[in-house]
Amino acid sequence: MSPRHKKPRSCGCLLKGRAFKPAGIPLAGIGQVILYRDELEAFKLCDLDGLTQEEAGRRMGVSRGTVQRLVAVARRKAASALAECKAIIFEETICE
């Protein structure tokens, strides 16, 4: 059985670079965490813009449950990168 295809999500965040990393350490010399664009969008809408998960879901065109999962994953990845001195590598997802 193959996994369900992700439905397109509306993402306003523009990725302005490929990575965010600690200063002074070459990218090749540190651990990496992959953060997908839809995870970044949900994280930004809820934690920076102050939207509820339901409002963020409407804006992204997904359910509140999907936003809840995306935010939880993004927070865990960001915490790991900050606490363990890892680079955050930005990857595209299916966004409109």
Read off the pLDDT of residues 42-81 as tens digits, 9 standing for 90 and up.
Answer: 999 999 999 999 999 999 999 999 999 999 999 999 999 9
Confidence (pTM): 0.80
92: pLDDT confidence band, cut at 50, 70 and 90?
Answer: confident
Please report the beta strands in 18-58, taking only residues with DSSP state E, as ranges in sequence order.
19-20, 32-36
Average pLDDT rounded to a whole number, residues 17-43: 92
Element (H, E) at 77: helix 64-83
Average pLDDT rounded to a whole number, residues 5-20: 67
